[in-house]
Amino acid sequence: MLRTLWVWIGIPLIMIGIAAAIVIYSVNNPPDSIVARMLTYERVFRVIREHMGLLLVSMTGATIVGVAGGIMLSRPSLYRIGRVMETIVNIGQTVPSLAVLALFYTILGLGFRVAVFALFLYSILPILRNTFAGIDGVEHSIIEAARGMGMRPLRILTRIELPIAFPIIVAGLRTAIVINVGAATLATFIGGGGLGDLIVTGLSVHRDMIIVNGAVIAAITAILLDYLIGKAEERVVRWS
């Protein structure tokens, strides 16, 4: 009980506390007018809200599309395309996120929605790949046993394939989230807002304090989300 409390409340609070301490200190002790202007509670909350917005919307879409796509590609009729897609996705992953953002800026223009869309597309890749690989990796004998016992294909998918692939799908999700939190700091270049506002502003006016605030919040967000998903997965997957 105490351990559960510590794992789910204690550790996250400590992480949030570290970020909060840095923000509170910075806001109350600005070394000059520029830092005072750029680091207000209102502004910090705004960029956090924007960042979470970018993350939440793009990750929700990417998870739905990535998992659904991975499942579809793993079906026998599309399996060949799936193998090809796996390669394409692996290549796609090597394209820097800034390049993806720049590409969508030239096609779609600027703003929050374009940034969300670019992040969405970028985050689909690891989720799609891991879903496909996870299902593809389920041993053939397991599927044969299930079929032989009279399970219908849809039941095999939901009761056998997806649960067995689950840890791999979650691993993809975690990769995507960590990439996404980082890549979302680039949204600021095309007017997408977020924690990147602080980081890039800090860089352009040479004020380390502004950079540190943006970077620390982003890093703690990534670590915390990864940690929480990992812990949640441990609770759900007890068999491996």
Partner 1 sequence: MSIKRLLTLSLVLIFLVGSLFVMGCEPDEPTVTVGSKEFTEQLILGQIALVALEDAGIPVEDETNLGGTVVAREALERGDIGMYWEYTGTALVEFMGHDVITDPEEAYATIAEWDQTENDLVWLEKTPFNNTYTVMMRQEDAEEMGIETISDLAEAINEGVEAPEPGEWSFATDHEYEARDDGLEQLQVHYGFEFESYEVMDLGITYGALNDGMHATAMGFATDARIAEFNLVNLVDDQEFHPVYNCSPVVRQDILDEFPEIPDILNPIAAVLTPEVMSSLNMKVDLEEELPREVAEEWLREEGFIE
Partner 2 sequence: MIKLEGLTKVFKGHNIPAVKDLNLEVNEGDVCVLVGPSGCGKTTTMKMINRLYEPTGGKIYIRGEDALQMDPIKLRLDIGYVIQEIGLFPHMTIYENIATVPNEKQWPKDQVKEKVDNVMSLVGLDPEIFKNRYPSALSGGQRQRVGVARAMVSDPPIMLMDEPFGAVDPITRARLQNEFLRIQERVDKTIVFVTHDIDEAIKMSDTIAVMREGELVQHATPSDLLSAPADEFVSNLVGRNRSIKRLHLIRVSEILEEVDRAPALKEDTKEEEVKKRLDESDIRTVIVVDRDNKLKGVIGVNDLKRKTGEVAGDYFQEVSDTVTDDATLNDALSVMLEIGEGYVAVVNEDEKYQGTITLGDLLNVVREDS
Cα 38 to chain centroid, rounded:
27
Among 62, 100, 119, 164, binds partner 2 (CB under 8 A): 164
Residues 133-192 that bind partner 1 (CB under 8 A): 188-191
Q: Interacting stretch for partner 2, rule CB under 8 A, among 93-101, 160-168, 182-190, 208-216?
A: 160-168
Residue closer to partner 2, measured from CB, 67 or 187 = 67
Residue 28 lies near partner 2 (rule: CB under 8 A): no
- Spatial separation of the C-alpha atoms in residues 55 and 15, rounded to whole Å: 19
Residue 107: burial class (beta carbons within 10 Å; 0-12, 13-18, 19+): exposed
By a kind-dependent CB cut-off of 5 to 8 A, residue 193 interacts, out of partner 2, partner 1, none, with partner 1
Kindly state whether residue 149 participates in binding partner 2, applying the rule CB under 8 A.
Answer: yes
Q: Which does 191 bind (CB under 5 to 8 A by kind): partner 1, partner 2, none?
A: partner 1
Please identify which residue in 1, 91, 94, 139 interacts with partner 2, judged by CB under 8 A: 139
Q: Which is nearer to partner 2, 83 or 152 (CB)?
A: 152
**Is the alpha carbon torsion for 141, 147, 151, 154 positive or negative?**
positive
Q: Which residues within the stretch 195-214 sit at the binding site for partner 1 (CB under 8 A)?
A: 197, 200-201, 203-205, 207, 210
Say which entry of partner 2, partner 1, none residue 143 contacts (CB below 5 to 8 A, set by partner kind).
Answer: partner 2
Cβ pair 202, 208 in contact under 8 A: yes
Q: Is 77 in the site for partner 2 (CB under 8 A)?
A: no
Q: Which of 5, 28, 33, 139 binds partner 1 (CB under 8 A)?
A: 33
Which residues neighbour 233 within 8 Å (Cβ) at sequence distance 6 or greater?
A: 166, 167, 170
Which CB, 117 or 132, lies closer to partner 1? 117
Compute the distance between CA of residue 183 and CA of residue 98 in angstroms, rounded to an integer: 8
Q: Nearer to partner 1 by C-beta: 83 or 113?
A: 113
Q: Which of 19, 59, 89, 105 binds partner 1 (CB under 8 A)?
A: 105
Question: Looking at this protein, which amino acid is placed at residue 232?
Answer: A
The residues of the shown chain that bind partner 1, judged by CB under 8 A, are 33-34, 37-38, 105, 109-111, 188-191, 193, 197, 200-201, 203-205, 207, 210
The residues of the shown chain that bind partner 2, judged by CB under 8 A, are 139, 141-152, 155, 160, 163-164, 166, 237-240
